[in-house]
């Protein structure tokens, strides 16, 4: 896909992440938003429903609900129903602990919903090292309920140093359960920043994952691994960062950000309690600057057309440099391994 269609700014995002609450019943070590208890000033039901109206009026195709644990919100189904009533497709990211047979049956009444259940290892111990005790069995139980329903469902795994070797087994587990596998990129935001060094996959793990992905076309990665996408997966996803161009993120209190990994004051594009969604999308200085962002330092790279500099959020969190290019792209992983090899042979 070329930048030329999106650099001027689309009339609305194609999809957006809506973190409906920061409340969560788990304390995962890689949580991008450091979820704990709900914020005091989260959007009210009325405010949330007004936002759904705005998203529909602006032509947003899909809302990806996350948090926090979205099912912690007492009015979450009301918000989801309102999206569906407007024809907006939804995808819910959940830890699965609150999913019951009744709830799945209720959600399955509408064909516009998809659900991702977080599972961070094919082995119980690997998963629970990151997500806490009891999470493996709860997620598997939720996935079984979903697999028996009509809801398109998937395992969502964040690739970490601890589970990298288990990704093929997770794929087999997903197949045995009758769901798909989606692998997301671990980024150093929220609690993920605190645990970055312990959990980050090393360059050889990232390379091995990239090679495995090349032969696993039915594994979904969203846009999170375009920086690692091999030639074999061209056309299966985006080849550039979609933040502020194709997507954005609404936080629990109505603040709007370029993406879920950029939820800080530095990247705040606006506040839905002050401005309309349209005003923020069209006019926010933060969004305009990201639409014009060019990673010139990567332009000579042979892979530039495949990633356009990769993920600015990772570049910012690791190097405090939005224009520096993704420090963990495929090309830099190869370089890092070669450099390490040369150091080892020189020693």
Partner 1 sequence: MAAAGVQLHPACRVRQEEFGLLFYDSRGPRLLFAETGTMLPAEFFAVARGKRELPEGLAEREQEKLEKFVNLLLEKDFLREQPLC
Q: Which residues sit at the interface with partner 1, rule CB under 8 A?
A: 1, 5, 8, 10-12, 14-15, 59, 61-62, 87, 89, 91, 111, 114, 222, 236-237, 246
Nearer to partner 1, 9 or 327 (CB): 9
Task: Tell me how far CA of residue 26 lies from CA of 34, 36, 98, 190, 318, in angstroms.
Answer: 10, 8, 11, 14, 26
Question: Shortest CA distance to 157 belongs to which of 189, 190, 179?
Answer: 179
Nearer to partner 1, 183 or 322 (CB): 183
Instruction: Count CB atoms within 10 A of the CB of residue 296.
Output: 10
Nearer to partner 1, 63 or 79 (CB): 63
Contact 39, 253 (CB under 8 A): yes
- In the complex, minimum distance from the CB of residue 296 to partner 1, in angstroms, rounded to a whole number: 25
Question: Shortest CA distance to 188 belongs to which of 320, 19, 95, 36?
Answer: 320
- In the complex, minimum distance from the CB of residue 25 to partner 1, in angstroms, rounded to a whole number: 28
Nearer to partner 1, 15 or 205 (CB): 15
- In the complex, minimum distance from the CB of residue 4 to partner 1, in angstroms, rounded to a whole number: 9
Pull the structure tokens for residue 331: 């090309």
- In the complex, minimum distance from the CB of residue 321 to partner 1, in angstroms, rounded to a whole number: 29
- In the complex, minimum distance from the CB of residue 59 to partner 1, in angstroms, rounded to a whole number: 4
User: Which stretches of 86-190 are DSSP H helices?
Assistant: 101-107, 124-131, 135-147, 167-177
Q: How far is CA 180 from the centre of its chain?
A: 16
Nearer to partner 1, 163 or 224 (CB): 224
Nearer to partner 1, 5 or 340 (CB): 5
- In the complex, minimum distance from the CB of residue 174 to partner 1, in angstroms, rounded to a whole number: 16
Task: Tell me how far CA of residue 139 lies from CA of 84, 96, 185, in angstroms.
Answer: 25, 5, 20
Which residues, other chains included, contact 214 with Cβ-Cβ below 8 Å and sequence gap of 6+? 230, 231, 232, 233
């Amino acid at each position: 896909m070329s930048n030329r269609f999106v650099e001027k700014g689309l009339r609305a995002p194609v999809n957006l992440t809506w973190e409906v609450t920061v409340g969560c019943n788990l304390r995962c070590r890689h949580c991008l938003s450091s979820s704990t208890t709900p914020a005091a000033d989260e959007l009210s039901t009325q405010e949330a429903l007004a936002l759904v109206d705005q998203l529909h009026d602006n032509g947003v195709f899909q809302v990806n609900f996350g948090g926090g644990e979205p099912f912690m919100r007492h009015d979450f189904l009301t918000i989801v129903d309102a999206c569906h009533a407007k024809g907006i497709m939804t995808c819910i990211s959940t830890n699965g602990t609150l999913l019951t047979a009744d709830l799945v049956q209720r959600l399955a009444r509408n064909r516009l919903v998809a659900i991702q259940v977080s599972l961070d290892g094919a082995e119980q111990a690997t998963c629970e090292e990151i997500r806490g005790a009891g999470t493996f069995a709860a997620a598997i139980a939720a996935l079984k309920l979903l697999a028996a329903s009509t809801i398109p469902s998937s395992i969502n795994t964040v690739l970490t140093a601890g589970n990298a070797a288990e990704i093929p087994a997770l794929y087999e587990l997903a197949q045995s359960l009758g769901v798909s596998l989606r692998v997301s990129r671990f980024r150093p935001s929220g609690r993920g920043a605190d645990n970055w060094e312990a959990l980050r996959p090393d360059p050889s793990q990232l390379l091995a994952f990239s090679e495995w992905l090349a032969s696993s076309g039915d594994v979904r990665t969203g846009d999170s691994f375009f920086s690692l996408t091999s030639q074999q997966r061209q056309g299966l996803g985006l080849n550039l960062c979609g933040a502020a161009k194709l997507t954005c993120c609404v936080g629990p209190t109505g603040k709007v950000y370029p993406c879920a990994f950029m939820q800080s004051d530095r990247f705040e594009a606006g506040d839905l309690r002050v401005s309309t969604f349209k005003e923020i999308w069209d006019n926010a200085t933060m969004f305009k600057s990201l639409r014009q962002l060019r990673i010139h330092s990567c332009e000579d790279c042979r892979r530039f057309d495949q990633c356009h500099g990769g993920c600015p959020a990772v570049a910012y969190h690791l190097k405090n440099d939005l224009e520096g290019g993704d420090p963990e792209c495929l090309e830099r992983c190869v370089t890092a391994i070669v450099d390490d090899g040369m150091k080892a042979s020189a020693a």
